[in-house]
Structures are given as C-alpha cells and as structure tokens.
C-alpha cells in the first residue's frame, strides 16, 4: 500500500484536530527516510508501508520533530511560516495514521 503525502501551502485553513500544536511527535524509530529530489521516501519496516514526502519542508519538519517539545516549536525551528501550519498538521495526521510518525506521549520516543 502506498500513501501519498502532498503539502500544499494554499490548502484550506483548518488543521486536523487530532494533531495538536502543543503535543510532541517523532518519526517512528521503525521508519527510514531516503532523500529524494522531491523530498523523501519513508519506509516503515514494521508494517512495510511506503510514503512519499513530497516537500523538502515536510522532510525537515519530520526529521526535527523529536528535537522539540511541541509541534509548534518544531514548525517554528524549521522556519515554516505560521499560515502554512494547518497544511503541515494535515500532512502529519496522514503520517500518524500510517504509523510513520508517533506521538511522544505514547511511549514510542525516537530520541
């Protein structure tokens, strides 16, 4: 199964309510990122899913998640403009659904 992830700066304004700016997230330790010109391929060695991160900004964010106490801190640290945050929340929701990204409070800390 392939999940396609597109980050669109011109997407609708609301983010996924399941992805909170005040929560901590991290790339699942069972996921490997392979850099590509369009962004990266993410492969989950547990569920064998492959996702396309079609934005270098999303790749930078996913790589930085574990280094910051909240999603908002990570977005700010990688230089994502605040008006784009909702589209990144939606993108992260897709990655969470496929277990590529995990919430830090669920015991799956990748630090």
Q: In which residue are the tokens 């590509």 written?
A: 36
Mean pLDDT throughout 78-99?
A: 96
Q: What is the pLDDT of residues 18-35, one digit of tens each?
A: 899 999 999 999 999 999
Q: Is 110 a member of any domain?
A: no
Residue among 27, 35, 32 at smallest CA distance from 48: 32
Sign of CA dihedral 17, 23, 26, 29: negative
Do residues 54 and 41 lie in contact, with contact meaning Cβ atoms separated by under 8 Å?
A: no
Q: Is 97 a member of any domain?
A: yes
Tally of domains within the chain: 1
Q: Is 108 a member of any domain?
A: no
Residue among 40, 43, 45 at smallest CA distance from 60: 40
Q: Is 13 a member of any domain?
A: yes
Q: What is the pLDDT of residues 42-82, one digit of tens each?
A: 999 999 999 999 999 999 999 999 999 999 999 999 999 99
Which domain CATH number covers 60? 3.90.930.70
Domain that holds residue 82: 2-103
């Amino acid at each position: 199964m392939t999940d396609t992830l597109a980050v669109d700066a011109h997407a609708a304004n609301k983010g996924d309510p399941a992805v909170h700016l005040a929560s901590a997230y991290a790339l699942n330790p069972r996921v490997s990122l392979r850099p590509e010109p369009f962004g990266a391929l993410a492969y989950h060695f547990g569920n064998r899913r492959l996702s396309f991160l079609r934005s270098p900004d999303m790749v930078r964010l996913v790589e930085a998640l574990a280094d910051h106490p909240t999603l908002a801190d990570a977005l700010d640290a990688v230089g994502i403009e605040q008006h784009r945050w909702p589209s990144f929340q939606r993108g992260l929701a897709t990655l969470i659904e496929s277990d590529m990204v995990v919430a830090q409070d669920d015991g799956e800390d990748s630090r």
